[in-house]
């Protein structure tokens, strides 16, 4: 009996084609006998496969549970290897009705993409830092002499350099592939598509139509909800939210009660969105940002019924608010620290020592702008926490 | 009973009304998200209208604790199914509530 061992690098970034490939191998009379996910190695035995449909699943908890409904539909867990498992079904693909949900895989993929972005930011930051140190030397008119000390240790510098380029290339490849993969995976779960901005944007402004701006509502989503509800109550119906989420278009219409809800999600969850739609919510805005997805939802209601809410209990409201406060603190605190470190240890002493008007133009500009930037970010963090505490107080009051 | 089961029971018993009704609606048959909302509304005669975000959040938590599992049905709709562990937890909670109920009845009877 012959064995075939195949190395398939990055197989988990193309999960569907990997599954398809295993199926093709099964058709050719090869059974998957060994699966080493970490080494990207698949070993096949020349033996008629008892399964025709395959699914590869990721489970962080390493449990790989098999729901009864899947078992009844013919699914089995064939090969468990830590966080990965191969599920097989003896039936033809067309006859298999149920399928395995890939939420865990999508979360894992977005974590990997996030890791690479952090890596890129570090690389860019370190290049910028080195450029900042060396550029003045290159640009100065005085001749610069660089002495290169001969040493066998230089070999390590070169190896490191090549290594870093290699790692960066893998990173670029991963980020691009994962982006495509995430599109493929969301297409796979074909559910009712979400139509953003169903009403066409009208550019002609008249008495019947007006644009209004609202900035910084991401740090206080409850205020945006209230503002939009008030607009509706005063007879202005929201027709369009422009890209970026700052400009809102309203149209004069009959007063109608609408409940608005702003949701914040780490990753866009299309099945959650489909669920909200099914529950009668209309999506009026989804932000394009990958890591901080905001979406605005509304639902009309009559005075007799209770005002509908996406998060109907206090616990989930509080959890949602905490997420907003946390993400902005994590995002902005490092920026404030870097700016603060620069400002308080270099700029401010420098400006005080030499006098504000004797320092160069760019230094003067920085001395003004740095505190402003720090202040803006700090206010944003504080606003996000104020939002959290408003929700919490609301929770305590109603108990 | 394993250590994990004990830990989960400690975490979920007693549970919130929302969590209880979500788990209860999966007790007899698997449901998809909106199915849970409708079911709970029906068995509480319209009193409890769960928000979709609340249901989704609670389900995510229960998935993590392995009280329920998820699969995609024929329409590729996410469907939730209770696990053995989930059944143990809801049985415990039901026993607790039965206890509450008998005490309520007993004390009401005394007053009259």
The answer on A72 and A23 residing in a single domain is yes
Are A313 and B54 an interchain contact pair (Cβ–Cβ within 8 Å)?
Answer: yes
The residue range of the domain holding B105 is 3-111
pLDDT tens digits, one per residue of A176-206: 999 999 889 888 875 544 444 445 555 556 6
The pLDDT tens digits of the residues spanning A248-299 come to 999 888 888 899 999 988 776 777 888 899 999 999 998 877 667 889 999 9
- Among A105, A85, A98, which residue's Cα sits nearest to residue A32? A85
Residue A296 lies in a domain: yes
A81 and A19 within one domain = yes
pLDDT mean over A101-106: 90
Percent of chain A predicted with pLDDT > 90? 45
Q: What local confidence, expressed as pLDDT, does residue A200 receive? A: 53
Q: Is A199 inside any structural domain?
A: no
Supply the pLDDT for residue A1: 62
Asked whether the predicted pLDDT for residue A175 surpasses 60, the reply is yes
Q: Are A256 and A273 found together in one domain?
A: yes
The pLDDT of A69-91, averaged and rounded, is 92
Residue A253 domain boundaries: 209-310
pLDDT category at A345 given cuts 50, 70, 90 is confident
Tell whether A333 is covered by a domain: yes
* A203 within some domain: no
Which residues are CB-contacts of A78 (< 8 A; sequence separation ≥ 6)?
A32, A51, A85, A86, A87, A88
CA A349 to chain centre: 40
Closest partner residue to B33 among A65, A101, A275, by Cβ? A275
Kindly state whether residue A148 falls inside one of the protein's structural domains. Answer: no
Instruction: Identify whether residues A14 and A68 lie together within a single domain.
Output: yes
Find the CATH number of the domain harbouring B70. Answer: 1.10.10.10
Alpha-carbon gap: B8 to the closest alpha carbon of chain A (Å) = 15
CA distance B18 to chain A (A): 8
Ranked by mean pLDDT, the top range of A148-157, A360-369, B46-55 is: B46-55
Domain-terminating residue out of A83, A99, A115: A99
A131 with A93, same domain: the answer is no
The CA angle B76-B82-B86, to the nearest 5 degrees, is 150
Q: Does A95 touch chain B (CB under 8 A)?
A: no
Q: Is residue A145 part of a domain?
A: no
For residue B72, give the chain A residue with the closest CA.
Answer: A99
Total domains in chain A come to 4
Asked if residue A117 and residue A81 are part of one domain, the reply reads no
In tens, the pLDDT along A70-79 reads 999 999 999 8
Our count of domains for chain B comes to 1
Whether residue A342 is contained in a domain is answered as yes
Structural domain ending residue among the three candidates A310, A332, A365: A310
Give chain B as a DSSP string.
--HHHHHHHHHHSS--HHHHHHHHHTTSS-EEHHHHHHHHHHHTTTS----HHHHHHHHHHHHHTTSEEEEE-TTS-EEEEE-HHHHHHHHHHHHHHHHHHHHHHHHHHHH-
Task: Provide the pairing of β-strand A3-7 with A41-46.
Answer: antiparallel
Size of interface A-B (CB pairs under 8 A): 96
Per residue in B8-67, pLDDT (tens digit) is 999 998 999 999 999 999 999 999 999 999 999 999 999 999 999 999 999 999 999 999
Mean of all residue pLDDT scores within chain A:
87
Of all residues in chain A, the percent with pLDDT exceeding 70 is 93
A113 and A171 in a single domain? The answer is yes
| Structural domain includes residue A378 | yes
User: What are B78-108's pLDDT values in tens digits?
Assistant: 999 999 999 999 999 999 999 999 999 999 8
């Amino acid at each position: 009996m012959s064995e075939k061992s195949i190395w398939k690098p990055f197989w988990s970034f193309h999960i569907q084609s990997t599954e398809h490939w295993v199926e093709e191998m099964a058709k050719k009379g090869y059974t998957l006998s060994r699966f080493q996910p970490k080494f990207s190695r698949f070993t096949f035995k020349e033996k008629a496969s008892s399964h025709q449909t395959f699914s590869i699943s990721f489970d962080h908890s390493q449990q790989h549970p098999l729901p009864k409904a899947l078992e009844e539909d013919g699914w089995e867990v064939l090969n468990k290897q830590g966080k990965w498992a191969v599920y097989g079904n003896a039936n033809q693909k067309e006859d298999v009705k149920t399928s395995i949900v890939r939420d865990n895989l999508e979360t894992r993929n977005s974590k990997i993409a996030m890791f690479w972005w952090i890596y890129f930011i570090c690389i860019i930051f370190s290049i910028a830092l080195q450029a900042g140190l060396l550029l003045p030397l290159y640009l100065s008119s005085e001749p610069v002499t660089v002495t290169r000390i001969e040493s066998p240790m230089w070999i390590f510098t070169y190896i490191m350099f090549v290594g870093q380029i290699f790692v960066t290339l893998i990173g670029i490849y991963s980020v691009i592939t994962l982006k495509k993969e995430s599109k493929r995976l969301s297409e796979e779960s074909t559910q009712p598509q979400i139509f953003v901005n169903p009403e066409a944007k009208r550019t002609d402004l008249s008495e019947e139509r007006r644009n209004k701006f609202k900035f910084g509502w991401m740090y206080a989503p409850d205020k945006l909800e209230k503002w939009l509800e008030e607009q509706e109550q005063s007879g202005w119906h929201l027709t369009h939210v422009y890209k970026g989420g700052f400009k809102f278009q309203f149209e004069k219409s009959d007063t109608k009660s609408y409940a608005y809800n702003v949701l914040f999600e780490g990753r866009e969850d299309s099945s959650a969105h489909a669920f909200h739609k099914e529950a009668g919510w209309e999506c009026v805005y989804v932000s394009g940002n990958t890591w901080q997805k905001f979406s605005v939802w509304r639902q009309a209601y009559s005075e007799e019924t209770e005002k509908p809410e996406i998060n109907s209990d206090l616990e989930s409201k509080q959890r949602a608010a905490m997420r907003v406060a946390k993400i902005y603190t994590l995002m902005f605190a490092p920026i404030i620290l870097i700016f603060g470190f620069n400002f308080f240890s270099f700029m401010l002493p420098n400006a005080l020592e030499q006098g504000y008007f004797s320092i160069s133009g760019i230094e003067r500009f920085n001395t003004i702008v740095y505190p402003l930037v720090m202040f803006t970010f700090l206010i944003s963090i504080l606003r996000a926490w104020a939002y959290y505490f408003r929700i919490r107080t609301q929770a305590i009051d109603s108990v | 009973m394993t250590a994990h089961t004990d830990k989960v029971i400690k975490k979920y018993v007693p549970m919130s009304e929302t969590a209880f009704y979500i788990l209860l609606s999966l007790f007899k048959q698997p449901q998809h998200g909106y199915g849970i909302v409708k079911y709970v509304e029906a068995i509480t005669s319209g009193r409890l209208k769960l928000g979709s975000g609340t249901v989704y959040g609670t389900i995510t938590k229960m998935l993590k604790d392995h009280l329920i599992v998820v699969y995609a049905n024929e329409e590729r709709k996410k469907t939730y199914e209770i696990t053995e562990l989930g059944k143990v937890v809801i049985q415990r909670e039901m026993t607790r509530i039965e206890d509450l109920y008998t005490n309520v009845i007993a004390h009401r009877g005394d007053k009259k």
